[in-house]
Structure 1
Amino acid sequence: MVSPISITGISSISPLGITEEEIWKAYKSLEHNISFEEFETEKTPVANLSAPGKKIIEKLKSSNAHYQNLDDSVLFSIYAARNAVKSAGWQGNHNFGVNIGSSRGATSLFEKYHKEFLENGKSSTLSSPTTTLGNISSWVAHDLQTEGPEISHSITCSTALHALLNGVAWLQSGLADRFLVGGSEAPLTPFTIAQMKALKIYASGEDSIYPCQALNLEKNRNSMFLGEGAGVICLENGIKDNALALVKGIGYATEPLKHNISISTDADCFQKSMKMALGNTKPEDVDAIVLHAPGTIKGDLAEYNAIKAVFEDQMPALTTNKWKIGHTFGASGILSLELALLMLKYQEFISVPFVEHNDIPKKLNKIIVNAVGFGGNAVSVLLERPIHN
């Protein structure tokens, strides 16, 4: 359990859109946001930013000469951070920390500069500063002119929720009263796509209504695909009048490695992280869980087994957004958290269209959000609807 911490602002940019209205409308739709593009002459399912999202990033890029040399992962973060701070009412107060991470970082620029090096034997002047992982938080802090600490990290696909853990730790320690946390990913590049295909977990084919079968425990093929986007939230100590939700519990765990991308059959790491996040909360009080569920056979089933082990016959309603927007790596946890916040606000459970949901909750007061990275780096966050909502 943690002392009261409020989420007072959030903003994201993803295939779902850039405004709360767009995003909620997209979630209520049964359509996915997948398109098929050619990568190395092979048609591949991906989820690009929405049309408004692409326009706003182009506008941001051209607004400042320095921004023209930045990777999309940085630009996504700057946009989301500006709007999160605005939604929380932090304008004019620069005394807050920043921790925005990424799994892969500047994939587009890294691949571009590496290609130039192979062709010319030389590296471009800006190749190093624009591809370091730290340049995401650094540029966000520069853009917002913050006075607090700047942190960057990568814990693969649980990066964004690890940023939340860091923010909570700083707040709990008394070293900060406000923290801006999140994750960003722009992985729709040839080498990144090729890496995922090499793992034999990538979705294929245009013959399915829903190419990604995330949370379908009966699937016989891996169906993960990649999407791009970023999400940023504002954390504050105490219970605030403008709180969107309260962070009631956090949990984390790491499994011993058996393979670079392994996770145990019953996802021991998730069992530990969820139990830690629950603390003194009764399992039956949790109304829903937003799963990590990337659409792989083993990953989805292992997480489900972990939930069964923790909740037994008190199973909450289960959902995920990856069938719709793909796996956004380091940003995925914060985009899942955004779905949880929207469900708490609108008091409506968002189901997965090809999964049978036996018990749709009539009210939503407590929701757990899960994320896990390669090697079993699990994080679980317990959110609670504020009383004033």
Structure 2
Amino acid sequence: MQDPITVSSIATISSLGFKREDVWNSYSNEKHCLSEQEVLNKLIPVSKLPKSLDNSVLNLRASHPKYRNLDRTVLLGILVARKAVEKAEWDASAEFGINMGSSRGATELFEKYLFQYRNSNRASVFTSPTTTLGNISSWIAHDLGSKGPNISHSITCSSALHALLNGVAWLRSGMADRFLIGGTEAPLTPFTIAQMQALKIYSPFAGAEYPCKALDLEKEVNSMVLGEGAGVACLELGITKNTLAIVEGVGYATELLSHGTSLSANAKCIQDSMSMALKDIDASSIDCIVMHAPGTIKGDMAEYKAIEAIFGKDLPALTSNKWKVGHTFGASGILSLDMAIMMIKHQHFFKVPYLNRTSEPARLNRILINAVGFGGNAVSVVIKAI
């Protein structure tokens, strides 16, 4: 019998906080962690780091000359990677793989350097490679001093859970004994926000009680809110004293494109990814599903219909963290995994406060997590308590 693949530690940074107790406290109340930002002379809801954590990012940038020209996505990734490796008690000099996902990559620097180029017809010497996607995992590997393979990729909003898939594949193949996986995103820039507004999916509800109505299937207006954040999990073979949860099932699927952001009405890709993840697991044993549920009308409903197609009328408890922390694009899957691990650890269900249709589970032993990105790239992961 194969050793199980386990999560030895997880670290995240977002508007929820950075310290584990701060993240727990943020999840444990019914207040969202969204704020407001002025874009083109208009206030919009966003999910950004608290000032104290923003200072941590600035301090990291100033800590070494080589870090001064790195994008915010990279700096967020370094912060969480350091903490995760420390909590897992991994020897940084030992060999372990790294796979970091990001939907947009170096958004802040790309926009900055493009603006400079358009105004001067000259490109900054720092433009490349700091705007390449590969520099995320490379700088994390440099910071940790690791000697294993390091991979960066973008599979839109399911990027972090695709990193988990890759980690599982490397561990199962015998090519690695440990793998650090995660995602990082810093999309709160004018051009990125304008893109979401152009798609007519961005929330117009600045100042509302709940600017993002993720999982509200009766909403009549799209309410997606962008957020920044990062997360990293340490995966390894076998159960250790640090094990937080077992990765029991993984699944993935892709839909045929009808347009760049397409997702079928019944989210066939999510149905297929959940079916694969549940291949050797009784669906009735799933106690909770952490949905992707970005707060869009079509996206939320399609995922809900996909869950109905797999589970029938007897659905597990459903939840999402997008109403509280916004949509962190490529990092969203790792934040959902963190939420699931916290629920299992504390045996406490984090409900969506404005919904009444889902009952709280009596136990939290198995949780399924979904992520899906533009273009119908879905990943589903089942984690189990030790």
- Code of the residue aligned with 1:264 in structure 2: it is S
- Code of the residue aligned with 1:174 in structure 2: it is G
Matched, 1:318 2:318: yes
- Code of the residue aligned with 1:54 in structure 2: it is D
- Contact (CA 8 Å) 1:12, 1:229: kept in 2 or not? yes
Looking at structure 2, the residues matched to 296 and 125 of structure 1 have their Cα atoms a distance apart, in angstroms, of 40
Matched, 1:235 2:257: no
Please give the root-mean-square deviation of Cα atoms over the aligned residues, in Å: 1.2
Is the partner of 1:234 in helix, strand or coil? strand
Superposition deviation, residue 2 in structure 1:
8.3
Q: How does 1:191-340 map to 2 (within 5 A)?
A: 191-206=191-206, 208-340=208-340
Unaligned runs of 5+ in 2: none
Distance 1:161 1:313, change over 3 A: same
Looking at structure 1, the residues matched to 156 and 22 of structure 2 have their Cα atoms a distance apart, in angstroms, of 28
Q: Which residue of structure 2 aligns with residue 182 of structure 1?
A: 182
Q: Please list the CA deviations of residues 257-309 of structure 1 after superposition, one character each: whole Å capped at 9, or x if unmatched.
A: 11110101110001110011011211110000000000000000000000011
- Code of the residue aligned with 1:119 in structure 2: it is N
Looking at structure 2, the residues matched to 314 and 94 of structure 1 have their Cα atoms a distance apart, in angstroms, of 46
Distance 1:6 1:40, change over 3 A: same
- Contact (CA 8 Å) 1:5, 1:235: kept in 2 or not? yes
Looking at structure 2, the residues matched to 73 and 165 of structure 1 have their Cα atoms a distance apart, in angstroms, of 21
Indicate the larger mover: 307-316 or 154-163: 307-316
Looking at structure 1, the residues matched to 192 and 47 of structure 2 have their Cα atoms a distance apart, in angstroms, of 14
Looking at structure 1, the residues matched to 357 and 236 of structure 2 have their Cα atoms a distance apart, in angstroms, of 35
- Contact (CA 8 Å) 1:224, 1:296: kept in 2 or not? yes
Indicate the larger mover: 40-49 or 296-305: 40-49
Number of residue pairs matched by the alignment: 386
- Contact (CA 8 Å) 2:92, 2:144: kept in 1 or not? no
Q: Which residue of structure 2 aligns with residue 151 of structure 1?
A: 151
Superposition deviation, residue 362 in structure 1:
1.8
Q: Which residue of structure 1 aligns with residue 39 of structure 2?
A: 39
Superposition deviation, residue 191 in structure 1:
0.4
Q: Which residue of structure 1 aligns with residue 341 of structure 2?
A: 341
Superposition deviation, residue 100 in structure 1:
0.6
Looking at structure 2, the residues matched to 352 and 150 of structure 1 have their Cα atoms a distance apart, in angstroms, of 37
Superposition deviation, residue 220 in structure 1:
0.4
Is the partner of 2:79 in helix, strand or coil? helix
Looking at structure 2, the residues matched to 203 and 338 of structure 1 have their Cα atoms a distance apart, in angstroms, of 25
Is the partner of 1:25 in helix, strand or coil? helix
Q: How does 1:77-88 map to 2 (within 5 A)?
A: 77-88=77-88
- Contact (CA 8 Å) 1:108, 1:189: kept in 2 or not? yes
Looking at structure 2, the residues matched to 94 and 69 of structure 1 have their Cα atoms a distance apart, in angstroms, of 28
Q: Which residue of structure 2 aligns with residue 112 of structure 1?
A: 112
- Contact (CA 8 Å) 1:2, 1:248: kept in 2 or not? no
Superposition deviation, residue 31 in structure 1:
0.9
- Contact (CA 8 Å) 1:2, 1:247: kept in 2 or not? no
Q: Which residue of structure 2 aligns with residue 18 of structure 1?
A: 18
Looking at structure 2, the residues matched to 67 and 239 of structure 1 have their Cα atoms a distance apart, in angstroms, of 36
- Contact (CA 8 Å) 1:317, 1:357: kept in 2 or not? no
Looking at structure 2, the residues matched to 37 and 228 of structure 1 have their Cα atoms a distance apart, in angstroms, of 13
Q: Which residue of structure 2 aligns with residue 96 of structure 1?
A: 96
Q: How does 1:131-170 map to 2 (within 5 A)?
A: 131-170=131-170
- Code of the residue aligned with 1:157 in structure 2: it is C
Distance 1:334 1:92, change over 3 A: closer
Looking at structure 1, the residues matched to 374 and 269 of structure 2 have their Cα atoms a distance apart, in angstroms, of 12
Looking at structure 2, the residues matched to 92 and 220 of structure 1 have their Cα atoms a distance apart, in angstroms, of 50
- Contact (CA 8 Å) 1:6, 1:239: kept in 2 or not? yes
Looking at structure 2, the residues matched to 30 and 330 of structure 1 have their Cα atoms a distance apart, in angstroms, of 25
Looking at structure 1, the residues matched to 321 and 213 of structure 2 have their Cα atoms a distance apart, in angstroms, of 11
- Code of the residue aligned with 2:38 in structure 1: it is E
- Contact (CA 8 Å) 1:157, 1:371: kept in 2 or not? yes
Is the partner of 1:227 in helix, strand or coil? coil
Unaligned runs of 5+ in 1: none
Q: Please list the CA deviations of residues 304-335 of structure 1 after superposition, one character each: whole Å capped at 9, or x if unmatched.
A: 00001100133100000000111000000000
Is the partner of 1:45 in helix, strand or coil? strand
- Code of the residue aligned with 1:377 in structure 2: it is N
Q: Which residue of structure 2 aligns with residue 381 of structure 1?
A: 381
Superposition deviation, residue 93 in structure 1:
4.2
Q: TM-score, normalised by structure 2?
A: 0.98
- Contact (CA 8 Å) 1:226, 1:328: kept in 2 or not? yes
- Contact (CA 8 Å) 1:203, 1:223: kept in 2 or not? yes
Is the partner of 2:127 in helix, strand or coil? coil
- Contact (CA 8 Å) 1:3, 1:172: kept in 2 or not? no
Q: Which residue of structure 1 aligns with residue 28 of structure 2?
A: 28
Is the partner of 1:98 in helix, strand or coil? strand
Is the partner of 2:18 in helix, strand or coil? coil
Looking at structure 2, the residues matched to 153 and 145 of structure 1 have their Cα atoms a distance apart, in angstroms, of 21
Looking at structure 2, the residues matched to 348 and 82 of structure 1 have their Cα atoms a distance apart, in angstroms, of 28
Runs of 4+ in 1 over 6 A off after TM superposition: none
Superposition deviation, residue 52 in structure 1:
2.7
Superposition deviation, residue 239 in structure 1:
2.4
- Code of the residue aligned with 1:103 in structure 2: it is S
Q: Which residue of structure 1 aligns with residue 363 of structure 2?
A: 363
